[in-house]
Structure 1
Amino acid sequence: MTAPPPRLSALVVARNEAAQLADCLATLAFADEIVVVLDRTTDASAEIARAHGARVLEGAWEIEGERRNAGLDACSGDWILEVDADERVPPALAAEVRRVIATSPHAWHQVPVDNYIGARLVRHGWGGSFGTTSVPRLSRRGAKRWKPQRVHPGLEWRGEEGPRLACALVHYVDRDISDTLRRLDRYTEARAADLVARGEVGSTADNLRRFVSRFCKCYFARGGWREGGWGLLIALCAGLYPLLAHLKAKLEPERHGGGGAAPARPSPADPAP
């Protein structure tokens, strides 16, 4: 008797993403189940998700890792594909995901990413916790857990990594340069709160060195120079990310969870570093 094909859950974790969610979910119809986790959402995201046949989990999570783990726990499929609201799964990737889960003996796989700023595809220079060209989004249920961090949480794995997929996830990372800079502000707010909470603010000298090393890695080693001014922008933001987060935690700890103040607003869901 032939075993049934493995079931696939598509997981979307979002907060007030009504403008993006319908287009995202439309590309996930190939999955056996769609689960949408909504964190403190006040727009029409829940109605949009249900209209696309998704199972909706609503709640409030201060920590991004905990929010994403709640989504993993809500999925019932044998495999889970995690997709953010600003991402799309092209038909070629959908077909490849189905082929891979039907035969893979591994626990998880990386998925390539094509990143867009507006209409511009930017292939080179991503890194330094400000973007990536590959994300570990396809995994067996139970193989993956996110660590309890507000931004760019780490991962714990059970089982072995398999080959990276060939087809890319489309990521509309920013609408324009101003959106890129707003994202840098959100990321550093959340990172500063993590630093204050752990008592690991660090030194300015160390973070200045990190600025230089991250800039050079993104702009030179990862080919950001090939993208002209776009690559320069990404490299600058990647270098500034740890430095700005450090300065916010050091100079304004009361705004980031220290001294009894409320923690900073967490960033929206994003690619693991």
Structure 2
Amino acid sequence: MPTPISATVITFNEADRIGDCLAALAFCDEVLVVDSGSTDATREIAAAAGARVLVRPFDGFRSQKQFAVEQATHDWVLSVDADECVTPQLAASIQAERARGFEGAAGYRFARCSEYFGRYLRHGNAYPDRKLRLFDRRRGGWRGDREIHETASVDGPVRTLAGDLLHHPFRSFEHQLAKGRQYAQMMAEHANARGRRATLGKLVLAPAWRFWRGYLLRGGFRDGWAGLVYAYVTADTARQKTVRLWLLQRAAGDVSSAPGPNNRSGGAA
């Protein structure tokens, strides 16, 4: 028999997107949704779609995803977000590997393609944005202590599959700005907890490098206006992270953390 797969999804107020996400996971043997207290119909929609639904207070993206992995019935786990959809090509690639028993691999990565206000970004920092999302939980999972921009890892070979994971990250421009603020704060808190310091160089150079690397070096300009706006706004998130890190250090009374030209301590935030 083919190796069974559990799909896991974490949710919070995703009633407008969870249906499409779960429909694309119909090839999996189990779909598990871990919800962090939605006030909309997310849990009801998921249950009606046949998913097993658990409720757990949110204490970080990594922790929530790892909890879902641990609660899954099967050892091979496909972890996706509620704003993502597995394409038919990617589903076919996964099923082909499953038919072979996932021989010789501990995990699989594949490209994620983000939709940005009516256009799928195919260049720049946005693509291919490969993610390791299918893995044997006996050899890995959502490890470490980084709760934002979390990554899965495994002990063993990782292969790349054909097909995209479609990503619909923003409901509106205001949603993107709010999400950027949230992520910048969480990244600053992570950096601050590890003793990293805000510097003038990081404030000026990190956003500039992120913009020009994505927009010019990686061809983000080929995505037209969408590519330009995406590069500009995501670069500003990098700037916000440094400002918020500086504010956290000031609040803690660390006067050495002021982003002046003589402060070069710490690693890259």
**TM-score under structure 1 length normalisation:** 0.83
Distance verdict in 2 for CA 1:118–1:238, change over 3 Å: closer
Distance 2:187 2:93 in 1: 35
SS at match of 1:36: strand
Equivalence for 1:7: 4
Q: Deviations over 1:146-177 (max 9, x none)?
A: 32223102444211111x11111111122343
Q: Deviations over 1:112-142 (max 9, x none)?
A: 1221113211111125xxx763211111222
Please list, as runs of the form range in 1=range in 2, the aligned pairs for 1:3-42 lying within 5 A after superposition: 4-42=1-39
Does the Cα contact within 8 Å between 2:125 and 2:218 map onto a contact in 1?
yes
Q: Deviations over 1:160-203 (max 9, x none)?
A: 111x1111111112234333323222211222232333332432
Number of equivalenced pairs = 250
Does the Cα contact within 8 Å between 1:79 and 1:101 map onto a contact in 2?
no
Q: Does 1:216 align with 2:212?
A: yes
Unaligned runs of 5+ residues in structure 2 are 254-269
**TM-score under structure 2 length normalisation:** 0.84
Distance 1:124 1:179 in 2: 22
1:31 Cα deviation (Å)?
Answer: 0.6
Identity among equivalent pairs (%): 31
Equivalence for 1:116: 115
Distance 1:165 1:139 in 2: 12
SS at match of 1:159: coil
> Of residues 107, 130, 133 in structure 2, which corresponds to 1:134?
130
Code of the aligned partner of 1:148: D
SS at match of 1:62: coil
Unaligned runs of 5+ residues in structure 1 are 260-273
Does the Cα contact within 8 Å between 1:115 and 1:133 map onto a contact in 2?
no
Distance verdict in 2 for CA 1:68–1:132, change over 3 Å: farther
Distance verdict in 2 for CA 1:232–1:50, change over 3 Å: same
Equivalence for 1:89: 86
1:205 Cα deviation (Å)?
Answer: 1.9
Distance 1:247 1:240 in 2: 11
Kindly indicate whether structure 1 or structure 2 has the higher relative contact order, using CA contacts under 8 Å at least 6 residues apart. 1
Does the Cα contact within 8 Å between 1:64 and 1:148 map onto a contact in 2?
no
> Of residues 68, 72, 84 in structure 1, which corresponds to 2:69?
72
Q: Deviations over 1:67-109 (max 9, x none)?
A: 1110111112232111111111222322221111222321111
Distance 1:224 1:11 in 2: 32
Distance verdict in 2 for CA 1:197–1:43, change over 3 Å: farther
Higher mean C-alpha displacement, 172-181 vs 39-48: 172-181
Does the Cα contact within 8 Å between 1:87 and 1:170 map onto a contact in 2?
yes
Please list, as runs of the form range in 1=range in 2, the aligned pairs for 1:217-236 lying within 5 A after superposition: 217-236=213-232
Equivalence for 1:245: 241
- 4+ residue segments displaced more than 4 Å: 252-255
